[in-house]
């Protein structure tokens, strides 16, 4: 009977010793992972940043325009190619920054209440939206290691009143834009090809 007890005790001791070894190995592996292993969260963050950057910077055309009844580009003989930069659109109904409607246009004019004052052409809401967009593009340029110039391409309906165009340009200049280009249709092609002139 004592032999059986001894055998049972030795089996139990062996099992306990094996469990202890497994725990030590498991602890050692966990410690090694936290010190030098890959952190999946950081890897996912990095992949999201890369994907967003690629979506933002890769496209077939720097500027894409869908002409409709609300937006018809003027014709021109300009042959300059469009560049990748901030885009502002002036349709018959809206002033837009990067396809986002910002200021309404009613009866061919911007509501005087949207202006900074009765004697100013600056539109504060539009100015702050342009500044946000320029800051965002500057950050992307810094990440990509590219030089950044505060330029804007204006896509304007051919019948946009001069007063509205002036107000938009003065506001953009107040937001820090230093160079303007205008999107037009190349007259000699007549096929909807877009170019910029500035």
Domain ranges of the chain: 2-56, 63-197
Q: Give me the sign of the Cα torsion angle 6, 10, 12, 13.
A: positive
In the block, tokens 């986002």 appear at 100
Backbone angles phi, psi at 111, to 5 degrees: -55, 125
What is residue 44's predicted lDDT score, i.e. its pLDDT?
79
What is residue 103's predicted lDDT score, i.e. its pLDDT?
93
Per-residue pLDDT tens digits for 13-49 = 777 788 778 777 766 655 555 555 566 777 777 788 8
What is residue 186's predicted lDDT score, i.e. its pLDDT?
57
What is residue 174's predicted lDDT score, i.e. its pLDDT?
94
Per-residue pLDDT tens digits for 62-107 = 455 555 556 555 555 445 444 557 889 888 888 999 889 999 999 8
> What is the rounded CA–CA span in Å between residue 18 and residue 182?
77
């Amino acid at each position: 009977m004592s032999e059986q007890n001894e055998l049972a005790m030795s089996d139990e001791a062996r099992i306990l010793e094996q469990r202890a070894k497994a725990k030590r190995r498991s602890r050692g592996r966990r410690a090694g992972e936290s010190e030098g292993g890959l952190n999946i969260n950081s890897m996912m963050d990095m992949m999201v940043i890369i994907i967003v950057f690629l979506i933002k910077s890769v496209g077939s055309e720097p500027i894409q325009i869908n002409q409709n009844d609300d937006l018809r580009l003027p014709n021109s003989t300009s042959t300059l190619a469009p560049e990748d930069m901030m885009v502002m659109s002036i349709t018959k109904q809206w002033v837009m920054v990067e396809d986002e409607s910002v200021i309404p246009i009613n009866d061919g004019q911007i509501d005087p209440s949207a202006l900074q004052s009765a004697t100013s052409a600056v539109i504060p809401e539009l100015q702050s939206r342009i500044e946000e967009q320029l800051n965002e593009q500057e950050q992307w340029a810094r990440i990509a290691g590219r030089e950044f110039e505060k330029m804007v391409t204006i896509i304007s309906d051919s019948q946009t009143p001069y007063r509205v165009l002036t107000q938009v340009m003065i506001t953009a200049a107040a937001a820090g834009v230093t160079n303007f280009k205008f999107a037009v249709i190349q007259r000699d092609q007549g096929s909807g090809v877009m170019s910029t002139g500035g």
